């Protein structure tokens, strides 16, 4: 029975029997982007040069457009009233309508399995599932996993059509996406539309369009859905005409063996997404729309393991350690390396503590995506280093503006070199530099561990799983946010 319903849904979405219809990414109960942006709606008609009239019923003047190659596209008036509204499209072939349409902020949620990790699997899931049902002004849309060797104009298959949270839609929806949406709604107090388009185990190359692939000459295994651009073609390209406010991203595990390339790949992908969304939405999606991401979480229970995760975390910031930065403007991130879940039924790489991740990402989103003032939305970051006292290194955080909370003595390491080089080399060794004291915005390390060698580099939390739950070394005292991983391979 469920299979038959799915077949009917796919047929209805494709609209192959309707002369005039909306794109598959539109539907009843959806959220369209609120003002000052203008929401774009589009769809199909059987005739070329057919005049189509779109109307928000009872609000403003109708908008007229003409089909080209069987496709029509139009901007609606900028709307700040949340609705609900009915939107109609009409032509000589008839009328179609969208009912219960809200206007709010639309976010795309993409990446691999930690973004696809669903609500029924999170910590305290029974409570979270029940709570989610109270957010009737949040609306969900889920793109089904599909790949394509060429760009698709429309969504091929819809996993979950636009809907308010329900006992059917919530359990299988992205936990991070929905929890992030709840956080935003609680602070912004207007509708939030969430579009999940994520596929487990997939590399960034699959989500990157041809421009980003060309910019970085990315590596990918030559089998679907890992082939470059196959998910961009099928799961992102069809969404481009939709006016969106921003995107969040949780991906990188599949690229951790080639982390050096990721420092080019993520900024290139973000740049392409921004350019293509802006162009396809007739300029309504911002050319610099906010992009939030999660730094890779913990994985191995072996706290001594380094692996590729630390390098990938660093590369996620374009090797600058924090965002926003000149290479990743209008970006924000959540640190998750201190949230291990080694006994997760889905495997230790899939932490169930998505609530903490969503809260951190949401807070950063308020600061960067919404420009809310006076928010402390980042963990401490080192800005100066003092080596005047022999055997000691004094690190100052955030130019002295952040009071740090030190929860462990371990976490810092220095690079010991036997040569006169000023850069840490492949044959040099890293040794522990334990915390001696901390005061205000400073932390003092013992850097005497190189003995007869000299030290030429510093790194922090450079492990796949650097600590137990929320027990890494450095946090912000006021915001309880962890300092991100850091590396400097040169002498001070």
Comparing 47-51, 96-100, 344-348, 437-441, the range with the smallest average pLDDT is 47-51
pLDDT digit string, tens, across residues 116-125: 999 999 999 9
Q: What are phi and psi of 370, to 5 degrees?
A: -115, -5
Average pLDDT over residues 379-384: 96
Instruction: Give me the architecture of the 103-368 domain, per CATH.
Output: 3-Layer(aba) Sandwich (3.40)
382-488 maps to CATH 2.60.40: yes
CA–CA dist 332, 319 (Å, integer): 15
Please give the Cα distance from 21 to 219 (Å, whole number). Answer: 40
Phi then psi for residue 325, to 5 deg, are: -145, 175
Contact 52, 91 (CB under 8 A): yes
Opening angle at CA 141, ends 278 and 111, nearest 5: 65
The CA-based angle 249-109-271, given to 5 degrees, is 55
Domain spans of the chain? 2-100, 103-368, 382-488
| Cα–Cα dist 24/275, whole Å | 22
Quickly count: other Cβ atoms within 10 Å of residue 377's Cβ: 20
| Full-model pTM | 0.93
The DSSP code for 236 is: I
Q: What is the mean pLDDT of residues 333-342?
A: 97
- Residue-level pLDDT at 230: 96
* Choices 3.60.21.10, 3.40.50.2300, 1.10.1510.10, 2.60.40.10: CATH for 2-100: 2.60.40.10
One fold for both 2-100 and 382-488?
Answer: yes
DSSP secondary structure of 245-309: SEEEEE--GGGGGGHHHHHHHHHHHHHHHHHHHHHHTTT-S-TT--EEEE------S-TT--SSH
**CA 132 to chain centroid:** 20
Greatest Cα pair distance, the chain, in angstroms, is 87
Of 154 and 15, which is predicted with more confidence? 154
Q: What's the mean pLDDT when you consider all of the chain?
A: 93
**Sign of the alpha-carbon torsion through 239, 244, 246, 250:** negative
Looking at 48-52, 72-76, 360-364, which range is the least confident one?
Answer: 48-52
- The model's confidence at residue 77, banded by pLDDT at 50, 70 and 90, is very high
């Amino acid at each position: 029975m469920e299979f038959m319903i799915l077949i009917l849904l796919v047929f209805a979405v494709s609209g192959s029997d309707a002369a005039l219809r909306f794109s598959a990414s539109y539907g009843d109960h959806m959220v369209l982007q609120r003002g000052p942006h203008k929401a774009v709606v589009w769809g199909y008609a059987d005739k070329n040069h057919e005049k189509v009239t779109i109307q928000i019923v009872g609000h403003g003047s109708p908008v007229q457009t003409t089909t080209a190659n069987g496709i029509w596209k139009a901007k609606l008036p900028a709307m700040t009233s949340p609705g609900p509204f009915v939107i109609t499209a009409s032509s000589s072939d008839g009328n179609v309508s969208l009912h219960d349409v809200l206007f709010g902020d639309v976010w795309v949620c993409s990446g691999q399995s930690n973004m696809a990790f669903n609500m029924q699997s999170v910590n305290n899931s029974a409570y979270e599932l029940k709570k989610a049902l109270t957010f009737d002004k949040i609306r969900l849309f889920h793109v089904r996993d599909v790949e394509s060797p060429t760009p698709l104009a429309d969504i091929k298959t819809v996993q979950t059509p636009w809907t308010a949270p329900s006992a059917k839609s919530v359990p299988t929806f992205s936990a991070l996406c929905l929890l992030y949406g709840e956080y935003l709604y609680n602070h912004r107090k207007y509708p939030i539309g969430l579009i999940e388009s994520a596929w487990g185990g997939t590399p960034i190359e699959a989500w990157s369009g041809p421009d980003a692939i060309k910019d970085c000459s990315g590596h990918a295994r030559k089998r679907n859905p890992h082939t470059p651009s196959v998910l961009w073609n099928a799961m992102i390209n069809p969404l481009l005409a939709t006016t969106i406010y921003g995107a969040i991203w949780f991906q990188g595990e599949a690229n951790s063996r080639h982390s050096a390339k990721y420092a080019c790949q993520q900024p290139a992908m973000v740049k392409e997404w921004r350019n293509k969304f802006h162009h396809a939405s007739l300029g309504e999606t911002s050319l610099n729309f906010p992009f939030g991401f999660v730094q890779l979480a913990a994985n191995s229970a072996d706290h001594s393991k380094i692996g590729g995760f630390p390098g990938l975390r660093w590369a996620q910031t374009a090797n600058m350690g924090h965002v926003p930065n000149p290479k990743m403007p209008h970006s924000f991130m959540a640190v998750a390396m201190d949230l291990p879940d080694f006994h997760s039924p889905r495997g230790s790489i899939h932490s169930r503590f998505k609530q903490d991740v969503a809260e951190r990402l949401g807070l950063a989103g308020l600061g960067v995506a919404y420009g809310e003032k006076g928010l402390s939305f980042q963990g401490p970051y080192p800005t100066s280093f003092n080596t005047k006292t022999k055997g000691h290194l004094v690190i100052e955080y955030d130019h002295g503006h952040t009071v740090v909370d030190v929860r462990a003595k371990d976490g810092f390491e220095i690079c010991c070199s036997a040569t006169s080089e000023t850069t840490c080399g492949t044959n040099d060794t890293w040794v522990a530099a334990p915390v001696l004291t901390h005061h205000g915005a400073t932390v003092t390390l013992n850097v005497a561990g190189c003995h007869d060698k000299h030290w030429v580099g510093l790194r922090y939390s450079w492990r796949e799983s650097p600590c137990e739950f929320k027990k890494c070394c450095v946090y912000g005292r006021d915001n309880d946010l962890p300092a991100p991983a850091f590396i400097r391979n040169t002498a001070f």
